[in-house]
Amino acid sequence: MSPRSAAFLSAIPLSALILAGCSAEDTSEEAEASAESGGTVTVTAANGEVEVAQNPQTVVVFDNVQLDILDALGVEIAGIPSAEVVPEFFSEYAEDESVANVGSLFEPDFEAVAALEPDLIISGGRSAEVTGDLEEIAPTIDMSVDTADLAGSLAERARTYGEIFDKTEEAEQLVSDFETRVDEVSAKLSEAGDGLVIMTNAGEFSAYGPGSRYGFFYDSLGLEASVEVESDGRHGEVMSFEGLAEADPDWLLVLDRDAAIATEGSTPAEQVLDNELVDRTTAAEEDQIVYLDSQELYLVGGIQAYMNAMDTVDAAISE
């Protein structure tokens, strides 16, 4: 992993995005060598087996999870979607005039994409539904992650990109660092008591359980759920403050959706949870309410985002 990427991964909390990877000259030489060799890689993606060019020169990305991983590997990106709220995580991409605006996650600007003459388009998550349309422009791989096995899915994606971009060593190092951190934090969190992952939104909150969008904290880090939560995929279960008090979690891991998307006039999560019912919980009494970086996890959610989240949790447990 490059020094620049390593510096980013060690930042607690989020620092400005630091681009990782090789120099533009090195990347250009690799791309030219690939073009001359005409090599290809067969990728297993959500849209099937797709043959793509080895070391594609022009890459367009329509999923922030994938952009997170590609950034960690130092892959140059030609185009990304615009957004009303750009995570600080990706601020340098948004400010880089050489990175084209290719529409939004839900509504790609197909003309802008075609104008780039991409060798590879990567979709996933919110953009998965337009994969078929993007395939008409260039080879497209839907790299949506599996929330039921997020850690394994992220590692698999990283290794696939290592194969595509001739960065197998970098990918294995990234995966090794990620899995080592999972082992380190899970050893502590699994012994720290039970808890819940919750997300505040518009003055209310939802809880997420194992196997859900934020099941990583249970499934990979060993957090014991304080109460059974009926959450499925991307959506959590709306929960009352009375229900939270009854569950009495030892730990609360909190995301603030309004803060993530910069909702004007919204109530911060700290204020939403500032009431007598929450104060009765062990989490509040023991000062074990942990506020995670909501932009990183809600808008990004790749390896680097979860590395930073693990650092935050580790720091809280170690206090």
Higher pLDDT, 195 or 91: 195
3-state class of 208 per DSSP?
Answer: strand
Please report the pLDDT score of residue 53 as a whole number: 96
Angle at 291 between CA 182 and CA 12, to 5 degrees: 60
3-state class of 141 per DSSP?
Answer: strand
Cβ–Cβ < 8 Å for 109, 86: no
Distance of CA 74 to the CA centre of its chain: 16
pLDDT band for position 38 (50/70/90)? Answer: low
Q: What's the mean pLDDT in 305-311?
A: 98
Strands 59-61 and 120-123: parallel
pLDDT band for position 89 (50/70/90)? Answer: confident
256-275 pLDDT, tens digit per residue, is: 999 999 999 999 999 999 99
213-258 pLDDT, tens digit per residue, is: 999 999 999 999 999 988 766 778 999 999 999 999 999 999 999 9
Q: What's the mean pLDDT in 110-131?
A: 97
Cβ–Cβ < 8 Å for 313, 253: yes
How far is residue 184's CA from residue 310's CA, in Å, rounded to a whole number? 9
pTM of the model: 0.86
Q: What is the DSSP letter of 232?
A: B
DSSP lists the bridge partners of residue 201 as 204
Total residue count of the chain as it appears in this document = 319
